[in-house]
Amino acid sequence: MAPVLRSLQRLFKVLRVPKAYYALAASVLSAAFLVSSGCFSKDPGKASDVRVVRVVDGDTIDVDSGATVRYIGIDTPETRRRTSSGWIPTGDIDGEEAKKANEELVLGKKARLEYDAQKKDKYGRTLAYVFIRDGDREIFVQRELLRRGLAFLYTLPPNVRYVDVFLAAQQEARKDRAGIWENLVEVPAAEAHRFEGQRKCVTGKVDKARRTDAVVTLDMDGLAVVVFSKDFGFFTNEGIRPEKDYRGRRIRVFGLIKSYRGSPEIIVSHPWQIEVLE
């Protein structure tokens, strides 16, 4: 696959195609190659077979080995949140739809769990890619949820084996305005503080941009857009220097709006979350 991509890049240079399209082509070709080959696993030895006994939400399941499994590479809208009084329902319709779809895909079925560089998260959950047999084919559960527009790409190095596959599936969902992409609300950056705890598309002009060894911060009408060093490589691979290429530009950022030291911020882990408008 790598020689094909290198040849494609050389062709793009001859045709003077912008570098921004290189990564998109690589993502689509990589996903197509894996799907057509019918084998996603790069290391079949790092896998195990289990049965799904409970679906916690759109991206978390319990299996018969006693483990709680958190899906690698995606995040789904929440069905509940922790408060001082315990867990309470969020009332998020998209979260319930993601959980329902996950149940239909995996509940009571045998699953193949494939692992990446890290096998556990900080909560002690098993991190895995999840595959379900459906007749003669194997369904990659994370990819399917993304394709239906019921999950977001969530990169967390070093567990990024299938990031190109996931990105292509999400791009398909966005193009088709499937699921959560159908009625996504866009808000100006100056009003981002009103939507804390929600995922939104936020637009505004990047007034300031600064970089340290640990982080890039873009200041946009009172909203901080943050890229941590662990994710710099995703931008470098696409020829993007966030602290320079976004400064002074009007952009659209997608992500979860959080509060940090009393001000709103969105943490960006991959270039797909930022679109330059002008």
97 belongs to the catalytic site = no
Residues 60, 143, single domain; the answer is yes
Residues 99, 146, single domain; the answer is yes
Q: How many domains does the chain have?
A: 3
Please check whether residue 204 lies inside any domain of the structure: yes
Residues 116, 155, single domain; the answer is yes
Asked which of 128, 161, 194 is the last residue of a domain, the reply is: 161
Residue of 97, 112, 114, 125 marked active site: 125
Residues 29, 80, single domain; the answer is no
Confidence at residue 47, expressed as pLDDT on a 0 to 100 scale: 76
Residues 271, 191, single domain; the answer is yes
Confidence at residue 13, expressed as pLDDT on a 0 to 100 scale: 54
* Ordered alpha helix ranges (H), the chain: 2-15, 20-37, 93-106, 141-147, 163-176, 232-236, 242-245
Q: For 222-246, what is the mean pLDDT?
A: 96
191 closest CA partner among 218, 223, 219: 223
Please check whether residue 91 lies inside any domain of the structure: yes
Residues 96, 127, single domain; the answer is yes
Q: Which pTM value belongs to this model?
A: 0.79
CATH number of the domain residue 238 falls in: 2.40.50.140
How far is Cα of residue 56 from the mean position of the Cα atoms in its chain? Answer: 19
Condensed to tens digits (0 to 9), the pLDDT of residues 114-163 reads 999 999 999 999 999 999 998 889 999 999 999 999 999 999 999 999 99
More confidently predicted of 257 and 5:
257
Residues 32, 79, single domain; the answer is no
Residues 64, 16, single domain; the answer is no
Residues 60, 154, single domain; the answer is yes
Residues 28, 104, single domain; the answer is no
137 belongs to the catalytic site = no
Residue of 70, 112, 148, 199 marked active site: 70
**CA–CA separation, 201 and 203 (whole Å):** 7
Confidence at residue 44, expressed as pLDDT on a 0 to 100 scale: 45
Residue 63: pLDDT over 80: yes
The residue range of the domain holding 21 is: 2-37
Residues 89, 157, single domain; the answer is yes
241 belongs to the catalytic site = no
Residues 61, 130, single domain; the answer is yes
Residue 184: pLDDT over 80: yes
